[in-house]
Structure 1
Amino acid sequence: MDYLPDDNSRYKDVEYWDERYKTEQCYDWLGSFSNFKHLLEKYVKKDESILILGCGNSSMSGDMYSAGYRSITNIDYSSVCIGTMSARYSDCPGMTWHQMDVRQLCFPDASFDVILEKATLDAIMVEEKTPWEVSPKTASFIHQALTEVSRCLKPGGRFVSVTFAQPFFRKRLYARTEYNWSIKHHSYVEGFEYFVYIMTKGEELSLEDAALERKLLEDTKSPPTTIVTTQNEDTEDFLCNIDL
């Protein structure tokens, strides 16, 4: 594939994405919206306000708009992406596009009913070597992003995270009392099993997830030396190399 970088670390560089978006028309990480539409419809109403993090050039926003979701705010840190997508969907009232960092969302508290990300957090963790222990730098990045997500959600709002990461690993990032949300998850299959996490603002962690948080805070043991990984069939290889 022409857009594959020489090194996975480049997935974190805005310069890489700016250059890629100059020529690439569309790419949908983890499959298209139609594959998890049935799950989203359970948690997101058509008239709710939606923020999409790291929108990229995915068709997801347009597909959601066509499905009846008409209040969609999109952000990405690539100015090239935002310029292209804004022009592409200029005839869609209620669809807006903004260049923005997920760690510093320029919206007031409690702005959205739903915040959605698909593979954006996965891309942030491209250089992680083990699912058991995220590096301090990446952990800080993720924490800043999730803190902003929680801040911008309305009471009862939902954070929807679509990822290839299995619950055993991804819940380690989401199960924190300070985010003030509960966690549910579902999965869908498109040649490979992907996961949809639903975090609901204002609900408490389940007993199981609260216990996980306590364990992570207390556990000082070294990670296992043998880690079972899964292979991913997505054409972009960074998804094959991390299991977070």
Structure 2
Amino acid sequence: MDYLPDDNSRYKDVEYWDERYRTEQCYDWLGSFSKFQHILEKHVRKDESILILGCGNSSMSGDMYGAGYRSIANVDYSSVCIGAMSARHRGCTGMSWHQMDVRRLGFPDTAFDVVLEKATLDAIMVEEKTPWEVGPQTGAFIHQALTEISRCLKPGGRFVSITFAQPFFRKRLYARGEYDWSVTHHSYGEGFEYFVYVMTKGEKLSPADAALERKQREDLHPAPPVLASAPSDDEEDFLCNIDL
């Protein structure tokens, strides 16, 4: 089967993914776990509770489990995917599988030490024509997802986002004070570079990222122009009262 959709918009359709997951065994966007394991190990401890968003049929969850990460909840909005992956990892104690939308996560507040996504947000943005500006519909989708991620993180918890998007573009989405996290980034890959963003809950944005957020808000809501006001009658009258 050719898994490449005839239109990028299909990457947003659960029907496309259900059909794909019925036959495709495994696919790893942006490389396998081994490619960025050295970065992840600096930010995620083996004993922490981890939520993986848009898990798909990637080998990442299984590879992380094999590396010693034993508390992993996986979510995907394809029930076909969740059924297949749950059966595949039936013997992995501490690993769970849930059919969910990333905008409406069915977990309590502060449930996880780490929330991890790899190319899930990239797939949501495939229809965008330019990296400089995200459309209103996609922007609302991303904001809902990031709000839910922040809600599910414990204080000091980390949101780890793995993507092909460069900091100049992706920080525009992540560096927002309302999410209550700081933003740092790392990179991996040879020839083609991928990026690992680490958002730490409860830390303030750096001065540069805070300035970026302010600039974006100003661009969206520019201050009204200051118009010179006409002098009032009183202002004009005072000239008549000058004794020459």
Normalization by structure 1: what TM-score? 0.89
**Which residue of 2 is the match for residue 207 of structure 1?**
207
Considering only CA atoms, is the larger Rg found in Structure 1 or Structure 2?
2
Give 3-state SS (helix, strand or coil) of 2:25's partner: coil
Compute the displacement of 1:219 (Å): 1.7
Residues 122-173 of structure 1: per-residue CA shift (max 9 Å, x gap): 0000100011110000000000000000000000000000000000000000
**Which residue of 2 is the match for residue 44 of structure 1?**
44
**Which residue of 1 is the match for residue 240 of structure 2?**
none
Instruction: Note if 1:97 corresponds to 2:97.
Output: yes
Q: Distance in 2 between matches of 1:220 and 1:11?
A: 28
Compute the displacement of 1:190 (Å): 4.3
Instruction: Note if 1:75 corresponds to 2:75.
Output: yes
**Which residue of 2 is the match for residue 33 of structure 1?**
33
Residues 151-203 of structure 1: per-residue CA shift (max 9 Å, x gap): 00000000000000000000000010000000000000144100000000000
Instruction: Note if 1:186 corresponds to 2:186.
Output: yes
Task: Please identify, of 167-176 and 212-221, the stretch whose mean Cα deviation from structure 2 is larger.
Answer: 212-221
Q: Determine what percentage of the aligned residue pairs are the same residue.
A: 82
Compute the displacement of 1:93 (Å): 0.1
Q: Distance in 1 between matches of 2:44 and 2:161?
A: 13
Q: Distance in 2 between matches of 1:2 and 1:32?
A: 21
**Which residue of 2 is the match for residue 168 of structure 1?**
168
Compute the displacement of 1:109 (Å): 0.2
Q: Where does the alignment leave 5 or more consecutive residues of structure 1 unmatched?
A: 222-244
Give 3-state SS (helix, strand or coil) of 1:43's partner: coil
Instruction: Note if 1:140 corresponds to 2:137.
Output: no
**Which residue of 1 is the match for residue 241 of structure 2?**
none
Q: Distance in 2 between matches of 1:183 and 1:125?
A: 20
Q: Distance in 2 between matches of 1:108 and 1:220?
A: 33
**Which residue of 2 is the match for residue 219 of structure 1?**
219
Q: Distance in 2 between matches of 1:7 and 1:191?
A: 27
Q: Distance in 2 between matches of 1:74 and 1:213?
A: 31
Give 3-state SS (helix, strand or coil) of 1:105's partner: coil
Q: Where does the alignment leave 5 or more consecutive residues of structure 2 unmatched?
A: 222-244
Q: How many residues align?
A: 221
Instruction: Note if 1:5 corresponds to 2:5.
Output: yes
**Which residue of 2 is the match for residue 111 of structure 1?**
111
Instruction: Note if 1:62 corresponds to 2:62.
Output: yes
Distance 1:6 1:131, change over 3 A: same
Letter in 2 for 1:21: Y
Compute the displacement of 1:220 (Å): 5.1
In the alignment, is the contact (CA less than 8 A) between 1:35 and 1:190 conserved in 2? no
Residues 47-72 of structure 1: per-residue CA shift (max 9 Å, x gap): 00000000000000000000000000
Letter in 1 for 2:98: H
